[in-house]
Structure 1
Amino acid sequence: MSVTGVEGEERSNFSAAESRQIRARSLRLLGSLLAPVRWPVIAAMLIVVLSTIAQVAGPALIAYGIDRGLPALLNQDWFPLAATGAVYLLTGVIGAGLIAWYTLMSARISQGVLIDLRKRVFLHTQRLSLEFHESYTSGRIISRQTSDLDAIRELLDSGINQLVQGLLYMTFTAIALFALDGMSGLVLFGSLVPLLILTRWFQVRSQTLFRQSRTASASLIVQFVETMTGIRAVKAFRAERRNEKVFGELVEDYRKVNGRVIQLFGIFDPGLVLIGNVAVAVVLLVGGFRVADGQLAIGALLAALLYTRRFFDPMEDMAMFYNSYQSAAAALEKISGVLEEHPGVPDPVAPVDLWKARGLVAFDQVSFGYQSDRVILPRFDLTIPAGQTIALVGSTGAGKSTLAKLMARFYDPSDGRVSLDGVDLRDLHPKDLRRAIVMVTQEAYLFSGSVADNIAIGKPDATPAEIVAAARAVGAHDFIEGLPSGYDTDVNKRGGRVSAGQRQLISFARAFLADPAVLILDEATSSLDIPSERLVQQALQTLLADRTAVIIAHRLSTVAIADRVLVMEHGRIVEDGTPADLIAGTGRFAQLHAAWRESLV
C-alpha cells in the first residue's frame, strides 16, 4: 500500500471495496498475531466454557431445591436440600476458580500479542525507506505506537473477556431456560427480535462515530507532538496563538464526536434495560398463570425469572465491548496499513558481498524523480574514482542532495544504476552498504545518552581510546572534555545540552569512527562557526586522503579541500574541474566564488 493509501485511512469515508480490503488486511494481521498462541487460546476457551456452565447451573439448582428439597424437608428428609446447597456452593467455587484461571491465561495471551505487535510496528517502521518517513509525519507514527496500541490493549485486556464470557453466558442461559421451561424460553426468544434491531441500529451508527473518534484523537496527538517537537520554531515565530486556535479546534472536534458517542449510548443502554424488563414481566405474567393452573412449579418459575433477568446482564458489558472493539478495529486498520507498507528500497533477493570496498562510485544513465511528473535527475552519468574528494555546488534544487541520497541508497533510481566498485547498490548486501557508505547530513541528530554513546553509533564495539581518537580527529575533543562529565556527559533530548556546532562535530566523530570507504557530507559544516569549520577542514584533509568523499556545501571555503568540483544545475553537471581551474575560468563556479569572496568583505 502506498503512503497516500495510509493517509486515506485517517478519513472515515471509504468505498465498499476499500472497506472490505481494509477489513481483510486487519484480519490477516490479527490471524498472524494469534497463530503463535493458538493452543493457549483454545485452552482458555475450554476453561471459560466450563466456568460458564458452573455459573449457569445456579438457578436450576435453586429450582430443584425449592421444588424437591423443601417438600422432602417437610417429610423430615433433609438430604436433597443439603445436597442442593452443597452442589450450589461447589459450582460457585469451581466457577470462580476457573474464571480466575481464565483471567490469568487471557492476560498472558494479550500481553504476548501486544509485545509482538509493538515490536512489529517499531521494527517495520524502522526498516521502511526514507520516502515513507518523509511523507508520514512523526506524530502519526507516534500515534500508531501509543494511542492505537492502547486501544488494542484495552480490547485484549478486558473487552475480549466481556465478549467471550457474555456470549457463552447468554447461550448457556438460553439453553438452560428452554430445558427448564419451553414456554419461558419462547418468551425470551421473542425478546431477541427487538434486541437484535436495537443492536444493529447501534452497530451501524457507532461504527462511523468510533472511527471518527480515533481519527480526531490521532489528529490531537499529531498536533501536540509536532508543536512540541518544533517548539523552537514556534517560539521563534511567535506561533503560540495560531497553535492555540488550531489545537482548540481539534479539541472541539474531539469533544463533539465523543458527545455523539455518549448520545448513542444514552439510547442504547436504556433500550437494553427496557427490553430486559419487558421480557421478565412477560415471563412472570405467563408463568404466574401456569403456576396457578398447576402447569409449572413455583421453583421453576423463580429459576425462569432468574435466567431471563441474567440473560440481559451481559448486554451492557457487551455494549462496552463494542465500544472497545470499534476503537481497536479502527486502530488495527491504521496499524495494519503501516505494516502493509513495503520499503521503497527493498533488500536484495540475492545479496552480493563486498567485504572491502575501494570506493569507486558510478552513476550510469540514472533517472530519478520524487514524483512521477517531476524528474530531478534526467539521464545522469558520473564516475567518482576511489579515493577522490569531489565537491558538489550549485543553486538550491539543482539535485545535489538527491545525488547524495541515491549514493547512500536512501532512494533507488527510477532508471539506470548506481554502483560501488562495479556492484549495483540494489544488489549489495545491506550490511556491506552501510559499512561502506556513510552520510553526514545538515541535521546532526543526537540520541539520548552520553557523548561517547553517540560517537560509538558509528562503531558499536569501539574502545574508549578509539572514541577519543575520532573526537580528536575532528576537533571535538577539547569541548567534550569541557563538558560536566566529559565523554560521559548526557547530551539530553536531541542533544539539547550542546550547541548546534558541537552536535555537528560529534556527528563527524561518529562518521569518522565508522571508517567508511565513501563519506558523504551533505551541508554538514553549515552549523559550524568559522574557527570550528577550519578545525574540521584541517581534519578532513587528513582523514579523507584514503577514501572517496562527496562534499555538498554552499560555503565555498569547504570546497577548497576537494580534488574536483562539480557544478550542478537542473539535475545536470554543467562544470567539472579542479577548484583552481574553475576559479580561474569565467563559468558558473567562478561567479559563485567571486560572489562568496565579496560577501566576506
Structure 2
Amino acid sequence: MTTPNREAPKGPAAGGPPRTGPGAWMAGPSLEKPSNFTESGKRLLRSLRPERALIVIGLLLTTVSVALTVAGPKILGNATDLIFNGAISSKLPEGADKEQVVEGLRERGDGDFADMVSSMDVVPGEGIDFGAVGRVLLIALAIYLAASLLAVFQGRVTTKVVQRAMYRLRAQVQAKLSRLPLSYFDRQQRGEVLSRVTNDIDNLSQSMQQTLSMAANSLLTIVGVLAMMLWISPLLALVALVTVPLSMIVAAKIGGRSKPQFIQQWASTGKLNAHIEEMYTGHTLVSVFGRRDEAAETFTEQNDKLYQASFKAQFISGLIQPAMMFIGNVNYVLVAVIGGLRVANGSLSLGDVQAFIQYSRQFTQPLSQLASMANLVQSGVASAERVFGLLDAEEQRPDLEEPATLEHVEGRVAFERVNFSYKEDEPLIEDLSLTVEPGQTVAIVGPTGAGKTTLVNLLMRFYELNGGRITLDGVDIARMSRADLRSRTGMVLQDAWLFGGTIADNIAYGNAGATRERVLEAAKATQVDPFVRTLPDGYDTVLDEEGGTVSAGEKQLITIARAFLAEPAILILDEATSSVDTRTEVLIQRAMRSLRQGRTSFVIAHRLSTIRDADLILVMEGGSIVEQGTHDELIEANGAYQRLYAAQFAEAVTT
C-alpha cells in the first residue's frame, strides 16, 4: 500500500458510514464504557505483573529505608535523655548517691521532682556526657543517610517498573490501533483518539510514578511508627489512634465527591483536543466559510467544561490535605499535653516524649499522603479507563493462522454476489457480481453515495463483507492476510497524504528498499521531476505534515509517484487527478497509461473525460451496477452513463 487507512472515504457522501458534521461530532454519543473504577484499578495493577521481581526489590528497599527512618526518632530521643539527664545531674550534689538525693527531695516536700529523678539515669554532679551525645548523634546521622540512599535506589526501581509498564501499554495501544477496523476511526474523532494515546497515558505514567512509591512508603511507615508508639507508651498510642477513623472518613467523603469530576476532566480533555485538532487541520476552510467565530465559541464552550471539571476535581481533592493537617494538629496537641504530664510524674522520659511527638507527626504525615493521593489515584484510574476503553474496542476479524498466499499475482479480481452495509437496516451493496481480467482498467462512475469508493475499500478489506466473496486469482481475499493483500495493491486517493520528511522519502514510502535512482525514475515518469528541480533543496526539500511547501496538485503528483514506485499488481486510483490543472492532468494521464500497463486497475472518476480509454466502465447507482461496457458502448446505449457524460459536456460548454 502507498497510503494509510486513514484516507478512506468519510461519510455517506462517499458511500461510507454516516457522520453528522463538525458541530454534531462534538455532541455525538461517547464510545466510552460506563465508569468502573474498581475493575480498572485491578486491571491496572495486573499490568504490573511482569515486573514482580523489581517490585519485590523495591518493597525490600522501602522496608529497610522505612525501618531505619522509624528508628531515628528513638535514637535522637536517647540523645535528648543524655543531655537532659546530664543537665539535671549537674544540679545535684556531687558525690551523693542517687537514692539519697531522692530521699532528700521527698523530705523537702518536692515529691514530683523526686519521682522524676528516680526514673532518670543520673549520676549526681556528673553533668552532660558530650562524648556519648556525639556518638548517638553520629549513629542517627548514619541511619538517616542510609535511609536516604535506600530511598534513592527504591525510587530508581519504581521508576523502572512504571516506565516499563507504560512502554508495554504504549506498545499495546499501537498494536491495537493497527487491529482496529476503519469503522472505528470513522466514528471517533482523531483528536479524541490521540488524547487517549498521548495525554491519558502520560497522566497515567505520572500518577503511577507518584502513587506507587508514596503508597508503599506511607503504609510501611504507618506500621513501623505505630509499633514504636505502642512500645514507648500504649496510652499515648491510643490517643494518637483516636484520630485515624476520623481521617479515613474525611478522606473517603472528599475522595468520593472528586471521583466523577476526574472522569469528566479527562473526557473533556479528549473532546477539547479533538476540536483543536479539527480546527487546526481545517483552518483554511474555517476561515473561508466564515466559521472562525463559531469555532471559537465551540472552543470556549469545551474549554469552559474542562475548566469547570478540572477546578472541581482539583479543588475538592485538594481539601483532603488541609483537613488532614487540622486533624494532625489536634493529635499533636493531645500528645504534647498528655506526654508532658507523663514526664512530670516520671512515667516517661523527656526523650521518649520527644520521640513520640516525632512519631505522631510521622504517623499523621503518611495518613495525609495516602489521603492526598486520592486525586492522583482518581485521575490516573480515569485515564487508565479511557485507555482500556480503546484497548477493549472491537477489533477487525483476525487473519487466518495459515493464510493463503500467492507467489505471483496475475490480477484477476472477481466480486461474487457481494453484499455490504454500514448499518444492518440500510443495505448499500446487494448481490453485486463482477469479474475483472488481469491487466484490465476498470473505471467506476456514478453519483455521490453510489458506493464507488466502498467497492474498492471492500477489495482492500478495510471493511468485511456481509455476504458473498471477493477473489484474487481465484483465492478468496478473506483467506489472505491483510498485509499480504495490501502489499500487492497501490492506492492513490483524492486527498493526498504526505508525512513530515523529504520529497524523496515520501516517494520511497511506497517501496522502503528503493534506491535513489529508482525514486528519480518514478518521479520523472509521473511528472514530479520538473517542479522538484525548481526547489532550492530538490528532492531533499523537507515537507511538513500538511505539505505546505508544495501545491495541492504537486502533492498529488508525489503520491502518484509513490504508487508508481511500489509497482503493485493491482492499482486503485480514487479521483487521483482531481487536484491538478488541465495541462498537468494530460501529463499524468500519459504517465498513468504506462503505470497501468500489465496491472489490474480500478479508477474511480468524476471527470468522465479521463476514463474514455478504460477497458470496462461500471456505472453504479445505489450500490448496484446499473450499466457496464466501454465508453462507446455506453454512449450508444443512451442510458445512465450517457446522461452523466452529456451533463458534464453541457457544463463544460457553459463554463
State if a TM-score over 0.5 links the two structures: yes
* Equivalent residue runs for 1:323-402 within 5 Å: 323-402=375-454
Counterpart of 2:149, as a letter, is G
Q: Secondary structure at the match of 2:505?
A: helix
Q: Secondary structure at the match of 2:535?
A: coil
Counterpart of 1:302, as a letter, is Q
CA 1:25–1:207: 2 relative to 1, 3 Å? closer
* Equivalent residue runs for 1:196-275 within 5 Å: 196-265=248-317, 267-275=319-327
1:574 maps onto 2:626 in alignment: yes
Tell me what 1:291 maps to: 343
CA 1:340–1:583: 2 relative to 1, 3 Å? same
Percent of matched pairs sharing the same residue: 34
Tell me what 1:553 maps to: 605
CA 1:488–1:266: 2 relative to 1, 3 Å? closer
The CA deviation string for residues 198-257 of structure 1, in whole angstroms up to 9 with x for no partner, is 011012111111111222222222221211111111111121111111111222222222
Q: Identify unmatched segments of 5+ residues in structure 1.
A: none
Tell me what 1:193 maps to: 245
Tell me what 2:46 maps to: 31
The CA deviation string for residues 420-465 of structure 1, in whole angstroms up to 9 with x for no partner, is 1121212113332122122211111011111111111110101111
* Equivalent residue runs for 1:143-154 within 5 Å: 143-154=195-206
Deviation of 1:72 (Å) = 5.6
Contact 1:216/1:253 (CA < 8 Å) preserved in 2?
Answer: yes
Tell me what 1:450 maps to: 502
| Cα separation, 1, equivalents of 2:406 and 2:603 | 24
The CA deviation string for residues 74-133 of structure 1, in whole angstroms up to 9 with x for no partner, is 657666544432321221111111111112222233232233323332342234222122
Q: Secondary structure at the match of 1:390?
A: strand
Tell me what 2:192 maps to: 140
| Cα separation, 1, equivalents of 2:123 and 2:413 | 99
1:409 maps onto 2:461 in alignment: yes
Tell me what 2:13 maps to: none
Q: Secondary structure at the match of 1:519?
A: strand
| Cα separation, 1, equivalents of 2:58 and 2:334 | 37
Within the candidate set 486, 501, 507, 1:434 is matched to 486
1:58 maps onto 2:72 in alignment: yes
Contact 1:380/1:572 (CA < 8 Å) preserved in 2?
Answer: yes
TM-score (normalised: structure 2):
0.85
Root-mean-square deviation over aligned CA pairs: 2.3
Within the candidate set 569, 578, 587, 1:517 is matched to 569
The CA deviation string for residues 286-336 of structure 1, in whole angstroms up to 9 with x for no partner, is 333333333222222222221112211234443443222211111111111
Tell me what 2:580 maps to: 528
Tell me what 1:44 maps to: 58
1:486 maps onto 2:538 in alignment: yes
Structure 1 ranges of 4+ moved more than 4 A: 7-11, 72-80
1:462 maps onto 2:514 in alignment: yes
1:109 maps onto 2:124 in alignment: no
1:540 maps onto 2:555 in alignment: no
Deviation of 1:517 (Å) = 1.1
| Cα separation, 1, equivalents of 2:41 and 2:455 | 38
Deviation of 1:580 (Å) = 1.0
CA 1:171–1:374: 2 relative to 1, 3 Å? same
Contact 1:160/1:321 (CA < 8 Å) preserved in 2?
Answer: no
Counterpart of 2:74, as a letter, is A
TM-score (normalised: structure 1):
0.93
| Cα separation, 1, equivalents of 2:233 and 2:519 | 83
Counterpart of 1:276, as a letter, is G
Q: Secondary structure at the match of 1:426?
A: helix
Q: Secondary structure at the match of 2:139?
A: helix
Larger radius of gyration: 2
Contact 1:452/1:488 (CA < 8 Å) preserved in 2?
Answer: yes
Q: Secondary structure at the match of 2:399?
A: coil
| Cα separation, 2, equivalents of 1:266 and 1:120 | 33
Within the candidate set 327, 330, 350, 1:278 is matched to 330
Q: Secondary structure at the match of 1:365?
A: strand
Within the candidate set 552, 556, 559, 1:500 is matched to 552
Deviation of 1:157 (Å) = 3.2
Q: Secondary structure at the match of 1:521?
A: strand
Contact 1:355/1:432 (CA < 8 Å) preserved in 2?
Answer: no
Counterpart of 1:492, as a letter, is D
Deviation of 1:29 (Å) = 5.1
Contact 1:407/1:418 (CA < 8 Å) preserved in 2?
Answer: yes
More divergent stretch after superposition (468-477 vs 308-317): 308-317
Tell me what 1:564 maps to: 616
CA 1:8–1:397: 2 relative to 1, 3 Å? closer
| Cα separation, 1, equivalents of 2:438 and 2:621 | 25
| Cα separation, 2, equivalents of 1:73 and 1:493 | 84
Q: Identify unmatched segments of 5+ residues in structure 2.
A: 1-24, 86-120
| Cα separation, 2, equivalents of 1:327 and 1:25 | 12
CA 1:25–1:449: 2 relative to 1, 3 Å? same
Contact 2:208/2:380 (CA < 8 Å) preserved in 1?
Answer: no
Deviation of 1:10 (Å) = 7.1
Q: Secondary structure at the match of 1:493?
A: coil
More divergent stretch after superposition (344-353 vs 85-94): 344-353
More divergent stretch after superposition (305-314 vs 442-451): 305-314
CA 1:414–1:438: 2 relative to 1, 3 Å? same
1:305 maps onto 2:357 in alignment: yes
Tell me what 1:92 maps to: 144
Asked which structure has the greater RCO (Cα within 8 Å, sep 6+), the reply is: 2
In the alignment of these two chains, the number of paired residues is: 590
| Cα separation, 2, equivalents of 1:428 and 1:258 | 48
CA 1:262–1:510: 2 relative to 1, 3 Å? closer
| Cα separation, 2, equivalents of 1:272 and 1:437 | 64
CA 1:481–1:27: 2 relative to 1, 3 Å? farther
